[in-house]
Amino acid sequence: MKKIPSFNNIVSKVELNPRKPLFSSLNKDIPASIVVFLVALPLCLGIALASGAPLLSGLISGIVGGLVIGSVSMSSVSVSGPAASLTAVVLASIASLGSFEVFLMAVVLGGIFQFVLGILKAGLIADYMPSNIIKGLLAAIGIILIIAQIPYALGIEATVESYLDPDIGFLSQVQPAFWNFIDSLTAGALLISGLSLAIMIFWDRSPLKNFKLLPPALVVVILGVLLNFIFEYIMPSLHLNSAHLVNIPKIDHFSELLTFPDFSAITNPEVWGVAITITLIASIASLLAIEAADEIDPHKRKTPPNRELVAQGIGNTITGLVGGIPITSVIVRSSVNINAGNETKLSTILHGVFLLLSVLFLSSILNLIPLSSLAAILLVIGYKLASWDVVLTMFKKGWNQFIPFVVTVVAIILTDLLIGIFIGSLVSIFFLLRSNYHNAFFIENTKIFKGETIRLELANEVSFFNKASIKNTLWNVPPKSTVIIDATFASYIDHDVLEIFEDFEDTFAKEHDINLSIIGLKEKYSVGKELEFVKGEIQESKEKSTPEEIFEYMKEGNQRYIDGKLVSRRLRNKELMDFINAPPLATVLNCIDMREPLNVLMNTGIGDLIPIRTAGNLADQEVIRSIEVACKKQGAKFILLMGNSANKIYAEALKDFMQGRISYISPLIEDAVKALNISAQDIVMEKIFEVADTITQWNLEESKRRIVSENNYLKTEIGQGRIGMASAFFNRQTGKITFSELYSVPTKVSFQD
């Protein structure tokens, strides 16, 4: 017989996210690559401008991102290039290292580090960076972008270093920068940036958004060039000179395109610090970007994160060697690529080819672009990163998300990117520890047993961080209490926590007469002695509980159910047997129409309730006999007669009654209909469940009367307070159970033994 291959073997031979061949969709990939090129061209120039780097370096990064990373990466949709997330790092690093060539050495090292991370399969590092820190990082970058582009948007003739000294801090420069703005405004730049901002803001709100081959960033660049030509011949006072225009040196030979790093700087510790910063930020940004791109990919293809780190590492190493600024996967360009209809990574590679051709043959044309046009593009990008909607969204997530977000933003602006992320991460860790402090266990505090009973159900993982909260809880247990520590479903318990349990058992519990039971500990968590569940003592405690205590226990349990604060009752077979061997607390009579689990509705323990189900809520002789056995033989000390709203069995019986038919379920409502004087004419279909609820309530009261009048044992025990009895009505819409008062046997009844 031929052996059938296993599913695992089949999966190992078939790619779960099949990718189309590179040249299989030229009709879609070529147009998409043109759109991405038109978007990437001004962004490469603008980001280099914001980074304080040569404008040509931004184009080099775009070329490498398309040709190199596009070829090595396994992503079908991601587009890499210079990113806004690294502008602050590049700006500050170039100034602190003293030259662009030294900075390039840091980029090379950063690329090598990224490559090593990919080889070591560190692609999951982004999963451990809190999202509020990432959003704070992006928002801070947005604010820095806005501040950095204001001089260019207003046409101030000054270098970036003159107005944004990274050694002083942004806020301390706001006031002097403002007066420099007033004195140095250029009318032509103001007009171009104003019109460009209007186009960028309102483009997606107009029919122009349907022109996919005409992105707004390209329109802004073309408009800026045309307006400056018009100014030159019609309004010379508005014409922008070369100080306000892109300045890319003319490339006569390919070698002129390249700038090489200063390899002698490899021994400089500060270079290594910058390299590590680039590695961390670029890696996290790229991993987050490909995750977002995969999410919007219509084919839902999955990009291997470790392969992406390898690709980004190779790309950054090469871009550093030839004179480019750091590269990441960029969600803006990736989303443009997807929206333009690309199918394979060929569109990414071709956009790099188009960027290379534009640098080699179109540099003179690129130098006609006003800096104010690029500034307008970056101002809009900056606002999107730090918009009010971003702040409001974080605020709605709660203080534990919002405070680290705000701290990260402020810290990055006042210090630098690495220190800001470090400070924000510390604050985020504080809130994480604070959350873990309270989430190590669930607490149930009841008084149904002898003294006070506290049940601690441990969470799935109990770490060292939970040590303080557990010890604080246990050492505040009242004397003579019963404490149950349930570790049944804890997959990990730290050794320090186990020592707390041992100390509590050996000292505190003995000195304060506390009955301790620990269940569910696995062998590998053994603290040197077996801690067993003390069945006999728990059974004795249950036997000494009073009907009043049991009644309050059920009421409190329903309130926990309503509040969503249930103590789960998950038990394996061994522990389940421990519970059902102890005496029950109550027996509950309810209709078979009610299928909701009683122990959930009243949050009782396994085996605490003995359900007796019947059609309707009337207690006949057989049901009363079952209740007697539950109390006399099994030890239940409470009888609860429970009805429920929207009882379909009663509703069906009422429909028969309305139509004058007698069916097999008619006896369930017969006595109630007579006692309540209900006629067929009184019932309408729209309110049939209201009548059913009324009958349910009557049958519950009638069942109480029958129990004490037809069973001598029960009426004696109830009359002398050894057994309690009450009725309850469960509202299916709200989950609330309305309990009656404890039933009191009329004094005229004579009791018999």
Binding region: 591, 593
Q: Residue 517 to residues 28, 502, 533, 575, 578: CA-CA distances in angstroms?
A: 68, 12, 5, 12, 12
Give the integer Cα–Cα distance in Å for 530 and 532: 6
Q: How many residues belong to the chain?
A: 753
How far is residue 449's CA from residue 424's CA, in Å, rounded to a whole number? Answer: 48
Helix (H, G, I), strand (E, B) or coil at 449: coil
Tally of CB atoms within 10 A around 72: 16
Whole-number Cα distances in Å, 708 to 550, 668, 716, 747: 20, 20, 8, 12
∠ CA 527-528-531, nearest 5°, is 70
Residues with Cβ within 8 Å of residue 495, at least 6 apart in sequence: none
Phi, psi for residue 458 in degrees, rounded to 5: -75, 145
| Residue 311 neighbours by CB distance under 10 Å | 30
Q: Two tokens at 304?
A: 């291997």
* Residue 292 C-beta-side C-alpha neighbours within 13 Å: 17
Question: Angle 688-710/621-632 helices, nearest 10 degrees?
Answer: 60
The SS3 assignment for 115 reads helix
Amino acid at residue number 310? V
Residues 644, 696: contact at Cβ < 8 Å? yes
Query: Binding site membership for Zn(2+): which residues?
Result: 591, 593
CB 265 within 8 A of CB 102: yes
Contact of 93 with 106, CB cutoff 8 Å: yes
Q: How far apart are CA 730 and CA 711, in angstroms?
A: 27
Torsion, CA 355, CA 361, CA 367, CA 368, rounded to 10: -100
Instruction: Find the helix or strand (DSSP H, E) in which 358 lies.
Output: helix 346-361
Residue 731, CA distances (Å) to 595, 610, 738, 739 in order: 13, 21, 8, 11
In angstroms, how far is the first alpha carbon of the chain from the final one? 76
The closest of 190, 196, 189 to 218, measured between CA atoms, is: 196
- Residue 619: other Cβ atoms inside 10 A: 26
Determine the residue type at 389: D
User: Which is it for the CA torsion 170, 174, 177, 178, positive or negative?
Assistant: positive
Q: Measured in whole angstroms, how far is the alpha carbon of residue 702 from the centre of its chain?
A: 52
DSSP assignment, residue 663? Answer: -
* 548: CB partners within 8 A, 6+ apart: 724, 742
User: Rg (Cα) of the chain, in Å, rounded?
Assistant: 38
